[in-house]
Amino acid sequence: MDPAQEKRTDVNDLGEFGLIDHLTKNFPLLHESSVKGIGDDAAIIDSGDLLTVVSTDMLIEGIHFDLMYSPLKHLGYKAVVVNVSDIYAMNATPKQITVSIAISNRFSVEALEELYAGIDLACKRYGVDLVGGDTTSSPKGMSMSITAIGVVEKGKQVYRNTAKVGDLFCVTGDLGAAYLGLQILEREKQIYLENPGVKPDLGDQNYLVGRQLKPEARRDIIMEFAKVDLLPTSMIDISDGLASEVYHICSQSGVGAFVEESGVPIHPDTEVQAIDFKIDPITCALSGGEDYELLFTIDPKDVDKVKFMPGIYIMGEVVPKKDGIKLHTKGGNIHPITAQGWNHF
């Protein structure tokens, strides 16, 4: 009776991005007000005076978070950050969010109060109003779905598919730290599970763990752009790792990329911890994810506008599509960059 049992093609064969494309490719946009549909950080709807920007994310316990080491307050905070980050990635300002949660009966009212305290903190920090949502039960575990709604002046929205050959790739902060923070938390979880008497040793890895548990979205950068009147030629937020995001910009813009390893910002703590875990630090930056920095491209004529912006790193160049997407390593080698994305399936 269950059609789901007539299993033929495994979703793994398509991967996350392929699956979305496959399922939604035949959905045309009928309304003139649907300015931007699936395929960017957020959808854009023409509301007359302004553009309304809508982004939505689902967070599933056991896939996106582990309550063994993610305090509920941090989880609530992060869930909001992840969504407003998508709105900033359109060069827009988030204004409202809706929060839906499904919870099993193992969660107490007090636990949910903690979650909402984190949501509240993030709402205040980013100036967004909680305007709606849904609360329901779940047979097992917790899932959350957040929709963020923002606005942007017409003509100021920035897409993924508009990078031009000759543009410069910029990034707003160091990469790879959140991934290592997760590895540290996972390690301590395993130690705890094997020996519940041992206290978790997060050592002096506050920076890395903090980047994982309490990331921030780059509201400040969007304000800087407005201040110096800079309109990036394309933009995306780094949720899945630099490789994936460079790939999205390139494939959607029909261009290639040349990324200088030496230009990719990596925090000293990331360098040290990566080596400790026997991982190349650049791999953490390329494939780690959850940094929530912005990756954007600018016209070279705008280089002076970003040069003195604090914490902006120019780390590559947009090249013709035929030249591919490549990393120029510190050692002088050239490697192709492939999209990783999250393959949870």
Residues of this chain, 231-250, that bind a second copy according to CB under 8 A: none
Nearer to a second copy, 90 or 312 (CB): 90
Q: Say whether 248 sits in a helix, a strand or coil.
A: helix
Counting contacts by CB under 8 A, is residue 314 touching a second copy? no
The encoded tokens of residue 287 equal: 């494939």
Which residue type, as a one-letter code, is found at position 228?
V
The residues pairing with 238 across neighbouring beta strands, listed in sequence order, are: none
Counting contacts by CB under 8 A, is residue 195 touching a second copy? no
Q: How far is the CB of 217 from a second copy (least distance, A)?
A: 17
Counting contacts by CB under 8 A, is residue 301 touching a second copy? no
Distances (CA, A) of 291 to 99, 208, 215, 308: 22, 11, 7, 22
Q: How far is the CB of 219 from a second copy (least distance, A)?
A: 15
Element (H, E) at 342: none
Element (H, E) at 244: helix 242-253
Q: How far is the CB of 46 from a second copy (least distance, A)?
A: 9
Counting contacts by CB under 8 A, is residue 19 touching a second copy? yes
What is d(CA 332, CA 84) in angstroms, rounded to the nearest whole number?
38
Counting contacts by CB under 8 A, is residue 339 touching a second copy? no
Q: How far is the CB of 147 from a second copy (least distance, A)?
A: 5
Counting contacts by CB under 8 A, is residue 276 touching a second copy? no
The encoded tokens of residue 56 equal: 């939505």
What is d(CA 46, CA 18) in angstroms, rounded to the nearest whole number?
28
Counting contacts by CB under 8 A, is residue 49 touching a second copy? yes
Counting contacts by CB under 8 A, is residue 344 touching a second copy? yes
Residues in region 73-102 near a second copy by CB under 8 A: 95-96, 98, 100-102
Counting contacts by CB under 8 A, is residue 223 touching a second copy? no
Nearer to a second copy, 139 or 331 (CB): 139
Residues in region 112-171 near a second copy by CB under 8 A: 112-114, 116, 120, 123, 127, 129-141, 143, 145, 147, 149, 151
What is d(CA 135, CA 138) in angstroms, rounded to the nearest whole number?
10
DSSP per position, 61-88: BTTTB-TTTS-HHHHHHHHHHHHHHHHH
Q: How far is the CB of 6 from a second copy (least distance, A)?
A: 7
Q: How far is the CB of 304 from a second copy (least distance, A)?
A: 34
How many Å is the maximal CA-CA distance in the chain?
64
